[in-house]
A and B are shown apart, each in its own frame.
Chain A
Amino acid sequence: QVQLQESGPGLVRPSETLSLTCTVSGGSVSSGSYYWSWIRQPPGKGLEWIGYIYYSGSTNYNPSLNTRVTISVETSKNQFSLKLSSLTAADTAVYFCARFRTVTTFDFWGQGTLVTVSS
């Protein structure tokens, strides 16, 4: 059974950069069948896809965040990471990592981590 676990700071200051890591177990980020994704959910609101990365390093980002987002993969650690820059209060959300397949979409999710942007 594939498991994903997010890690990173729960509080970040405005204008700074958020850095989160997703550690994958029970499966490999190097598998050619999957794309490794980040999704966020502001408190009490809906879900927003941030972007994903393929094991080769190719990425696809949501244009609404494109200029501020970087997703990278570390195959040796079976991890992938999210960096989101120029933070504002609007970036306060629960951030989920998830596995994506083009046929079955998001089939496995991490438990999510709350990131609060505040001074």
Chain B
Amino acid sequence: DIQMTQSPSSLSASVGDRVTMTCRASQGISNQLAWFQQKPGKAPKSLIYAAFSLESGVPSKFSGSGSGTDFTLTISSLQPEDSATYYCQQYNSYPLTFGGGTKVEMK
């Protein structure tokens, strides 16, 4: 199985801050990586697929980058509604696997 490791596990930032989180795959996954946002009690919401392609309707303040084993999700200007846990997920090989998540809180 491909292990997905996210860091940090949590972060605290202020309104307007630029926030970056990373996801590392245990082996190369090309660009077959997605990012999801999950708020408490809700289903995950797809933000980005294919490492950097924005899902329809997702604000452009979210951006993704990377290829191979190292990936990044950036929120350009953090807002209170962005408080959530963010998960990466690889779909390069089976079983499909998720990272452990990065919890983003407002300072």
Chain A interface (Cβ < 8 Å from any Cβ of B): 46-49, 60, 62-64, 96, 98, 102-107, 109-112
- Cβ-neighbour of B36 out of A48, A102, A106, A110 (below 8 A): A106
Would you list the 5 A-B pairs with minimal beta carbon distance, nearest first? A109-B43, A49-B96, A47-B98, A62-B95, A105-B34
Chain B interface (Cβ < 8 Å from any Cβ of A): 1, 34, 36, 42-46, 49-50, 53, 55, 87, 89, 91, 94-101
How far apart are the CA atoms of A47 and B43 in the complex, in Å? 11
- For A106, the closest partner residue in chain B by CB is B46
Interface SS of chain A: helix, strand, loop or mixed? loop
User: Contact between B98 and A63 (Cβ–Cβ < 8 Å)?
Assistant: no
User: Contact between A105 and B100 (Cβ–Cβ < 8 Å)?
Assistant: no
- For A101, the closest partner residue in chain B by CB is B49
User: Contact between A46 and B95 (Cβ–Cβ < 8 Å)?
Assistant: no
How far apart are the CA atoms of A102 and B20 in the complex, in Å? 26
How far apart are the CA atoms of A106 and B35 in the complex, in Å? 10
Q: Apart from A49-B96, A105-B91, what 8 extra A-B contacts exist at CB < 8 Å?
A: A47-B87, A47-B98, A104-B34, A105-B46, A107-B49, A107-B55, A111-B43, A112-B42
